[in-house]
Structure 1
Amino acid sequence: MDSDGYALSAQTLRATIMELFEKEIRPILLKVYEDDRKMLDASEGRIDRTNEIVDKLTEVCKSVETKYTAHLSSLQKSRDTSQQANAELVSTCNMLSARLKEMDTEHKKTIEGKDKVIAGLMQDVRESREQYRELQKSYLRIAEAGSLKQTGNVMEMNVKQ
């Protein structure tokens, strides 16, 4: 119905709606579609740039992962080499310690043997000194006895103490 209360014919109604659509709604829809198209194009550009960044980040991450794996492998090899060298060093130290203990034992036995020899020699020196003193006393007695006898031969002995 129109403003007077009369019903519009279907054709008039259709023409009015079409006119309203063409003048009012269509420009708005075209503007919305155009804005949507611009936003879609801008979004596609951002999506493309984002995809490029993601691809670059993926490449960088793979590169970092590869380098990290290589570095980790290198560290593991270095650790294994160090552990092997340390094991060999410990083994060598143990062998040297055992050899030093053997040498120390041998050295102590040698020292004990030489101490016994020295003690024996010192005893021999004491005994020899004692024998020397006894011999010296005997010689002095003989010398005194010889100088006191006045028989045919004169015996002179200068014995100094």
Structure 2
Amino acid sequence: MRKPFENEFPNDKYFSFYIEKLESQNVINVLMEQESLVKKIYKNLSEEQKKYQYAVGKWTPQQILGHLTDTERIFGYRALCIARGEKQSLPGFDENEYMDASHFNEIPFESLLEQYRLVRESSIALFSSFSEDVASRMGKANGHAVSARALVWMIAGHERHHLNILKERYNIG
């Protein structure tokens, strides 16, 4: 699935920031590589590392894992809806409100890692089924015009962003 053209996503800092983080032209390969990397990184964390905050109010690596899964579920749902021709505008979400309601640090870590794996594998299967025509379909999410393809690339770029944060601020990865 090729990279989205600039007219396929909103001209805001998040979309372009995440999509431009990826050099590859094959987002499915990126998603598969990220899955392997995330499992490798997270399986090697100590209990202390999983719950570490580099600053007050910042998310723990365990919370980041839950956030990645939530975001992929939401963006994957949006991509599915748009790919299937949904005409209604899809709602946005506030990641901080979701985090406050999630209690990810209280969920068994192995459960979070398994949820991540299942969501990623399901996403890869779905997105691999999109033809270029289907992937280029436009819809509305969070009040903005966006293609199904751009949402897939957003998932990968968003994850790359958080993997960079784990490396730079948590010294993980």
TM-score, reference length from structure 1:
0.19
Larger Rg: 1
TM-score, reference length from structure 2:
0.18
Higher strand share: 2
